[in-house]
Structures are given as structure tokens and as C-alpha cells.
Amino acid sequence: MTSGNEIIPAPRAVEGPTRGAVVLDDSTTLWAAPGTEATERWLRATLGAAHGLPLRPGTEDARDRVRLLVDDTLEPEAYRLSVGADRCVEIRGGDPAGVFWGAQTLRQLLGPEAFRRAPVRPGTRCSIPHQVIEDGPRFRWRGLLLDVARHFMPKEGVLRYLDLMAAHKLNVLHFHLTDDQGWRIEIERHPRLTEVGSWRSRTKFGHRASPLWDDRPHGGFYTQDDIREIVAYAAERHITVVPEIDVPGHSQAAIAAYPELGNTDVVDTRALSVWDTWGINPNVLAPTDNTLRFYEEVFEEVLTLFPSEFIHVGGDECPKEQWRGSPTAQARIEELGLADEDGLQAWFIGHFDTWLAARGRRLIGWDEILEGGLAEGAAVSSWRGYAGGIAAARAGHDVVMCPEQQVYLDHRQDGGADEPVPIGYVRALEDVYRFEPVPPELTPEEAAHVLGTQANAWTEVMEDAARVDYQVFPRLAAFAEVAWSRLPAPERRDFAGFERRMAAHYERLDALGVGYRPPGGPKPWQKRPGVLGRPIEGAPPRH
């Protein structure tokens, strides 16, 4: 049994707990008003299974009941969870999502056993103290990027991460599906993207300067039915899946499958294979009409699979050397009257901005897409620091704040020698907890363009699910509180109080089977002795 002050992310207001409790047992019924059907299904499948509760359908005014309803006097995604003296647990949500987030809080109130898949103490009654929790999110975009291109995560792993996101009230999965090291989504019109582009013959183990290789072929992809299942599973949990198809850089896997997509007048693209190491790759897409048509056909299929408002097109880390040496690229620069290769990249991104807008979607890309100008309606993922997000918001563009120096979860969690494959700055649990997504330089009008924030799990050095768990948790719990809760300024945040609540949350993560980094450091099987990383010393820059 957990009181309201042990909830993660922290709720807006808690009255109680007071004397008295509601007991959930075999006689407890479940009444669900229209609009709450997804939460009704989730409660029976999850809490019902964990505690052996049938949660039979009941009437709205039955005794010993759980009651779900939408109350449009509440804000979108907000909820009011009442555990009352009339022996009722009631969840009111401002919309269906709010009801679902209230159910996530109810799960935490029931203790760590509620996070298991079957009862561990059959017959134990679930007792919840009387209390009222009123809550709602700070941001509408509370995201996690999963990079399944560098190391493939099988479908079951993605579904598991959607459940973990839901448990932390995160609502956007940024699904990084393509890169130099692999193409992970079936495109029926272009089958070689997965036949060739979805696997590589070997993989660099550790940072790109490491002498170590994993000589096993690595690969995998999601069929279109897999994608439909993932998107539907996410929607049941009020999570939006935003796909990323990288252009014009990070594209060697596509070029390996279809060499004509590359700059054939400066490099023998037929000799390219799916890249087996890390870093910024020089092989980028050719700025030709053929390339544009090819990717339009890719995006046509992507749009049928993902109903999201936003489609991510990458747009980052696109070296210009091949374009500088390509007569074809230079002719296109002259034809379009562009100043240089940066303008060519802006033209490339702008083409798909217009194309997506014509189909009722919005383009989002990494902050490099600001270079050379950005069309109205496009949004920016600010990753190189805060500066890109500040510039975008001041120019009237919506922004998702995900600065590398603050919320890249591949960065190491401690400065100790036992940290596995240490990458980047030390970003401890407390550092993530004190992250502030809205830069103080923005006016209130500019700050309104900050849609929210996102933590990014890049998987170059995360070779399997256990490594992903280690890098993501427990820091994702701190990030979730930053994204959901209205916290004080970073220096005034009660990290000691958060750590106390984490004591209860670690038990929940244990019940879920999450291989998080323990507070005292990695367990022996979580270490990677002798595998070269790329640690950066000192505090990260502010911008």
C-alpha cells in the first residue's frame, strides 16, 4: 500500500490519506462511462491479473466499486482520483487520457504487487486509504526516443517499453526507425530496404575508436502488421508514436539497398553496405528528383501506418563533402538559385515539409533544419543544446526540448570506472531531476511554443535489452516527473524527497523486471570491462 506522497511523477495536489480505507476484493465491481473503455480494459487486464480481481461489471451507484468517467470541467489529460468513505474509488478525467493516467496512479497506490502479472499472495485484500489526488500534466509532449536502428529491439521489447512509458505517464514514443546502421520498417513498394538494409554483417562493440567487434550479423525489422500492432497498443495507452525516417543524412542503409539514391557521380555507391560502425557517415542522399520521388513513396506508406500529427524527418548531421564534389548537386544548387550546400539541405527538408503539410501532417526535425530557413508549421527537436530551441521558439516554431547534454540517456550515469561503455557527460539521477525544459531566456509568448520535452535513448552502445534498461532507468523516472509535474526552479527541487519516493518506485521497477542501474552502482553483469567509451569530463555546457 502506497500513500499519495510516494507517487512518481509527483501529483499536483493530495488530500490525505486519512483514516479509513477502501478495500478491493472479489466483490468489487467496475463501472465505466462512455469514453473510458480503454482504461476499463487496461484495469481488468493489468490490476485484475496482478491481484486476482475479477472486477466484474457493475452499476454506477453500486457499493464496493471502481467508477470511471470523463468530466469535461477538468483539463485535457488531468484527473481526479477519489478514494472515498462511500467505499468507492472514482477516477474522473478531463478526457479519456486523463482517466487512464488516473488509473496509473491507482496502480501505484496498490503497492508493488500491482506491477506483477499474476498474484504472489492470492487472497490478499487490496486496501487503499481514503484520499483525493488532483493532477494534470505540465507539458503535452512527454516523450522517449527509442533508437531501434543502431541495435534492433524486437516487437515484444517495444510493447514492453510502451507499458513502461505508460506507467510513468509519458505519452510520445519517438520511434527512430532508419539510420546508416539499419532500416527497420517494411516498405512494400521498396522491398530491398529490409531485404538488404535491415541487417549488417558485424557491429563495432563500444565507441567507434574501440578495437572490438561483434562478428555476428545483426538485424531485424518490423512488418507493416507489426507497426500496426505497436501503434494500436500505444493508442490503447494514450501514447502517440511519432516515426522518424532520416533524410538526407544518416541514410547509408537505404543507399546500400538502392545505390541510385546516393551521390553516384562522386562515389561507387554499389560498393556500400549497411554501416557497421558509429559516427557521422559521409554517404548522404543525392538531391535528385528520383530521390525525392522514392522517399515520397516511403512516406506514403508511413502515413498509412502512423496517424500522428508529426512525422520526424531527421535532418541532422548531414556532411556536405559529397555534394560539394558532385556535379549533379552543384547543378541543382545553380538551378534553384541557392547560395550553398546548406541551402540545398534546407530545400530538401522544405520539399518534405510542403509535401507533408499538403497531407495534413506536420514535419518535425532535429535543430539543424533551422539552417537555411524553415517553413511555417514545421517543428524542431532541439538536441545540440538549448540554442536551437530558443531560436526556433523566437521564430514562431514549436519546439520539443531534448538537449544532448541534459537528457541523452546513452550518456554515463556516474564517473566511476565501473560504468559500462562510458559515453559523454555524467548525467546522474539528480542531474536529470534538475533539468528544466523551458529556457529562462524565452518570453511567455515564446515559451508557449515549447510543446514539451523528450529523453533520447540512442543505442550505439546498448547491444541488448538489458543495456537499454540500465541506461534508461532509473533516470526515466526523474525525467517523467520533470515532464509531468509542475516543479520549482531546478535549484529548489526537493531531490531528497524524490529519492525517498524512489525507494518505493524501485520496488515497482523490480516487480516489472526492469534491469535499472542500482543506486550503489552497476551489478557485476551490468559492467563492460575493457570496452572503450567516450567519456567527457566536466560539467556540460548550458547552451
**Catalytic site residues?**
179, 250, 317
Residue 131 CA to residue 6 CA, distance in Å, equals 13
| CB-based contact 403:384 (threshold 8 Å) | yes
- For every residue of 142-199, DSSP letters joined together read EEEEEETTTS---HHHHHHHHHHHHHTT--EEEEE-EETTEE-B--TT-THHHHTTTE
Query: Which three cell numbers, joined as nine digits, stand for 429?
Result: 539521477
The residue behind cell 516527473 is 481
Provide the angle, in degrees to the nearest 10, between the axes of the packed helices 289-305 and 341-357.
40
Residue 438 CA to residue 431 CA, distance in Å, equals 16
| CB-based contact 47:118 (threshold 8 Å) | no
Question: Residue 432 is inside which H or E element, if any?
Answer: helix 429-433
The residue behind cell 495507452 is 237
SS3 label, residue 172 = strand
Q: Which amino acid would we find at residue 530? A: G
The residue behind cell 535543430 is 367
Q: How many CA atoms lie within 13 A of 395 on its CB side?
A: 20
Sheet holding 56-57, edge to edge: 13-24, 126-135, 79-83, 88-93, 65-70, 29-32, 56-57
| CB-based contact 322:329 (threshold 8 Å) | yes
- Distance from CA of residue 452 to its chain's centroid? 12
Residue 355 CA to residue 508 CA, distance in Å, equals 45
- Strand runs labelled E in 189-237: 199-200, 203-204, 213-214, 218-219
Parallel/antiparallel/unpaired status of strands 218-219 and 199-200: antiparallel
DSSP assigned state of 25: S
| CB-based contact 22:83 (threshold 8 Å) | yes
Query: Which three cell numbers, joined as nine digits, stand for 296?
Result: 515520397
Residue 182 CA to residue 152 CA, distance in Å, equals 8
Residue 223 CA to residue 136 CA, distance in Å, equals 36
Residue 44 CA to residue 155 CA, distance in Å, equals 23
Total Cβ atoms within 10 A of residue 521: 13
Cα angle at 479 between 499 and 430, to 5 degrees?
A: 40
521: left (phi over 0), alpha (psi -120 to 50) or beta: left
Residue 302 CA to residue 244 CA, distance in Å, equals 10
Could you tell me which residues come within 8 angstroms of residue 439 by beta carbon, excluding any fewer than 6 positions away? 386, 389, 390, 401
